Amino acid sequence: MYKIVRKQSLNPTVSLMEIEAPLIAKKAEPGQFIIFRAKDDSERVPLTIADFDREKGTVTIIYQIVGRATMELDTLKEGESLKDFVGPLGKPSETDGLKKVAVVGGGVGCAIAYPIAKKLHALGAEVHSVVGFRNKDLVILEDEFRAVSDKLYIMTDDGSYGQKGLVTNALEQLIKDGNQYDEVIAIGPLIMMKFVCKLTEQYNIKTIVSMNPIMIDGTGMCGGCRLTVGGETKFACVDGPDFDGHLVDFDEAMHRGTMYREFEQHAREESCNLLGQEVK
């Protein structure tokens, strides 16, 4: 059993948990993920590792409360334990040799972008972070990003905080200002990553994206997390989750991501009824 040593609400729909998992903390690297099961009969769900502390033996996850599994996870309190917590899985993000990088995060994807920015900063790279949210109330990890970024740009769709606009607006301005990046790392909704890649392709800047498709076993056996990269079939759980964004077929990935929408909505409504919560 994996004890919850800290739980914190980051905004109305996103929460953080620090989990006691010393063996995972010992091996974890930015970009890797875990698969958790909150209770005996819960669904197995992958979440990218948001942080880890090797000395304390803890792993931090950040999750958005969007479906049955995350709703069940959120019912657990500090001092209680998760049934399963497996990892680290996937390949770590490649950071060696990078001297100047733009890290772009969107929404809860910022939880994945942050540990990469943190490691790059620790390695001495110049880090420019661009993070985007729908509005001020949904902003997360601002202080954490500020601590590891040479420049930080916060974008909101409605202009209620930071600058009004999309992450691509800020990124393009940085490029036009003469910043020459070794790499852009973009993590967030598929549509956001797609348009970041369309932008960087124009400037011939290598761009890495983190893919989080439907996943079941997390070891490459089920094929549920397959996607097309450079015309070849890849599996996010063992070949990724990081891929060359200019080679990813985002349209296919977005289509596959909608396959279980009706089922997920039904499961969410069922969980809301069981937990006595309102369906939003």
Residue 272 in any domain: the answer is no
User: Which of 19-28, 78-87, 161-170, 222-231 has the least mean pLDDT?
Assistant: 222-231
Domain end (from 62, 89, 116): 89
- Structural domains counted in the chain: 2
Asked if residue 147 and residue 40 are part of one domain, the reply reads no
- CA contacts within 13 A on the Cβ side of 264: 13
278 neighbors 272 (Cβ within 8 angstroms):
yes
Structural domain of residue 142, as residue ranges? Answer: 93-210
Q: How confident is the model at residue 260 (pLDDT cuts 50, 70, 90)?
A: low
Show the 3-state SS of the chain.
CEEEEEEEEEECCEEEEEEECHHHHHHCCCCCEEEEECCCCCCCEEEEEEEEECCCCEEEEEEECCCHHHHHHHCCCCCCEECEEEEEECCCCCCCCCCEEEEEEEHHHHHHHHHHHHHHHHCCCEEEEEEEECCHHHCCCHHHHHHHCCEEEEEECCCCCCEECCHHHHHHHHHHCCCCCCEEEEECCHHHHHHHHHHHHHCCCCEEEECCCCCCCCCCCCCCCEEEECCEEEEHHHHCCEEECCCECHHHHHHHHCCCHHHHHHHHHHHHHHHCCCCC
pLDDT tens for 81-117 read 999 999 999 999 999 999 999 999 999 999 999 999 9
Asked if residue 157 and residue 188 are part of one domain, the reply reads yes
Residue 186's nearest CA partner among 134, 132, 238 is 132
Q: Decide if pLDDT at 131 tops 80.
A: yes
Q: Decide if pLDDT at 277 tops 70.
A: no
Q: Decide if pLDDT at 62 tops 60.
A: yes
Peptide bond into 88 cis (omega under 30): yes
Asked if residue 120 and residue 69 are part of one domain, the reply reads no
Residue 120 in any domain: the answer is yes
Record the tokens describing residue 158, joined without a space: 């409605």
Asked if residue 116 and residue 56 are part of one domain, the reply reads no
pTM of the predicted protein model = 0.87
Asked if residue 44 and residue 19 are part of one domain, the reply reads yes
Could you tell me the CATH number of the domain that includes residue 177?
3.40.50.80
Residue 103's nearest CA partner among 140, 154, 38, 68 is 154
Measured distance CA(256)–CA(258) in Å, rounded = 5
Per-residue pLDDT at 242: 94
Residue 118 in any domain: the answer is yes
Cα three-residue angle 250-251-252, rounded to 5 degrees: 90
Residue 265 in any domain: the answer is no
Q: How confident is the model at residue 166 (pLDDT cuts 50, 70, 90)?
A: very high
CA 143 from chain centre, in angstroms, equals 17
Asked if residue 194 and residue 111 are part of one domain, the reply reads yes
Asked if residue 127 and residue 84 are part of one domain, the reply reads no
Could you tell me the CATH number of the domain that includes residue 27?
2.40.30.10
Residue 232 in any domain: the answer is no
